Structure 1
Amino acid sequence: MRAADGGSTHRALVTEHDGYMLRIPARMVDAYRFREIVARARQIRSDLRLRDLLRQALDLWRGPVLGGWASTHPDHSLCESLESARLTVAEDLYEAELRLGNHELVVDDLIELSATNPNRDRLTAALMVALHRAGRSTEAAAVFHQRRRWLRNEYGVNAAPTLQRLHIAILRHDPAVELRTASGRF
């Protein structure tokens, strides 16, 4: 194909086999850019820089993959993989925020994200820690009990041992749950 000025142009949408193929540079695809930023973030040791990169990656999201369209096609696993990656990055981000002492800033976001993803133990743990550090230990304990009931009713299983230990530590006001230095974990 020729452009009006005589130069050639790139055809982004081409016919291939029994359908169409969109051919654009990878840097123009949000999913590719997301994975690229996350890969860079995995090399970072500073929680401040890690937080900034993870937020940059999550800012690329504008809703569910493919607008929430569910497919029975094999490509559906790609959508699930991307959604899982988004949640993992969110977990990493909130854990970094907690290490930075930003529990007050993230607690409301964690309440929403944890409620919509009750099967993600890291989100539940981060929420419990944020609530406890914000002086809302009773709510942190309630989150554990609610999650434990949900797991029992939905799957017939107990809460993970890590959540059980965290629950006990919160009840005891164990110093291990309190804010640590940037190198410590909660």
Structure 2
Amino acid sequence: MLSFRILGPLEINTETRVLRPKGSLQSALLTTLLASARQLVPTDALIVELWGEDHPGRVENALQAHISRLRRRLSALEPGAGESRLVTHASGYQLLVRDGELDAASFIIGLEDIRGRAHADATAAVRRLRCLLGLWRGQAFGSLPRGPLRQAAAARYEESRVAALELLYEQELRDGNHARVIPELRELLSRYTFQERFRQLLMVALYRSGRQADALSVYRELWHRLSEELGLEPSPTMRQYERAILDHDPSLNLRQSARPAEPAPAGGGAGRDGGPAPYARRLNHY
């Protein structure tokens, strides 16, 4: 049984060793097929992925030679496996990958499962999310140049990674670990400078740690950077976080919500029953 890792530099794991394929075209071919695992990749799309739009003439023969070489190498890694994983169709090629053999697929499936269970047990969700995020060893596909197919796949994987990180720190805060996650959230912001959700979570973590001034400085830093670098302002949601912290709103406390929603309607802050409409009614809980 083989397993493939593309959430970082390309690796192939066998029962006895870890292989890091050499050769840019072979690696590009394998990672492209892995990014479309179980799906047929049209010949034309593979050619553009490997050689670009301005590819040389008669490149189909070169692609067939690379396919044959990759098929032999994969077959040599699992002798006795029977039929080849790399299947040729009339219009393209397909790489057969089973459940649990591709780290990117395992990551996405695992994240969806955790999302469905997260609110039942924050501690368990944190443990599983940290294990799942450990599948990442760097940027998807490592430093390999990417064509259109792998660019799109890398963007999808990165979106899922950010979603997993957001869920992780929401659950950490829900579990009362606000002081522990402050340095981790600060490190994340060095990589995702304009990712507002990470700033919101850091502001809540600081506020719950008794550091109101530091929480407000996180907002002000974003305001300055957006203004100076992009000519923009923070979103209404970010401004609601600032207001909630300035007001010492109780909805920011542990076990209550911390995601300000839409501002109260004009003409007053009363709820539908005529009573006050506190933040707690308008925030998502974690």
Task: Please classify the TM superposition score into its range, dividing by the shorter chain length.
Answer: 0.7 to 0.9
User: 1:36-115 alignment to 2 at 5 Å?
Assistant: 36-44=109-117, 45-46=119-120, 47-115=122-190
Partner of 2:285: 185
Q: Are the structure 2 counterparts of residues 40 and 165 from structure 1 closer, same or farther at C-alpha, using a change threshold of 3 Å? A: same
Q: Structure 1 residues 166-175 or 28-37, which shifts more?
A: 166-175
2:213 to 135, 138, 142: 138
Q: Are the structure 2 counterparts of residues 148 and 69 from structure 1 closer, same or farther at C-alpha, using a change threshold of 3 Å? A: farther
Aligned partner letter, 1:54: L
State the TM-score, normalizing by the size of structure 2: 0.56
SS in 2 for 1:66: coil
Instruction: Please list every run of 5 or more consecutive structure 1 residues that lacks an aligned counterpart in the other structure.
Output: none
Contact preservation (8 Å) 1:103, 1:133: yes
Q: Deviations over 1:78-114 (max 9, x none)?
A: 1011011101110011011111110011111101102
> Aligned residue pairs: how many?
183
Q: Give identity over the alignment, percent.
A: 33
What RMSD in Å do the two structures reach over aligned CA positions? 3.0
1:31 to 96, 99, 104: 104
State the TM-score, normalizing by the size of structure 1: 0.83
Aligned partner letter, 1:185: H
Q: Partners in 1 of 2:177 and 2:145 — Cα distance?
A: 36
Q: Are the structure 2 counterparts of residues 48 and 78 from structure 1 closer, same or farther at C-alpha, using a change threshold of 3 Å? A: same
1:174 to 243, 246, 249: 249
Q: Deviations over 1:156-181 (max 9, x none)?
A: 22101111111122123222212125
Q: Which has the larger radius of gyration?
A: 2
Instruction: Please list every run of 5 or more consecutive structure 2 residues that lacks an aligned counterpart in the other structure.
Output: 1-71, 258-283
Q: Are the structure 2 counterparts of residues 132 and 72 from structure 1 closer, same or farther at C-alpha, using a change threshold of 3 Å? A: same
Partner of 2:43: none
Q: Structure 1 residues 44-53 or 87-96, which shifts more?
A: 44-53
Contact preservation (8 Å) 1:114, 1:127: no
> Which one has the bigger helix percentage?
1
- 1:162 maps to 2:237: yes
Q: Are the structure 2 counterparts of residues 67 and 98 from structure 1 closer, same or farther at C-alpha, using a change threshold of 3 Å? A: same
Aligned partner letter, 1:58: L
Q: Partners in 1 of 2:164 and 2:232 — Cα distance?
A: 26
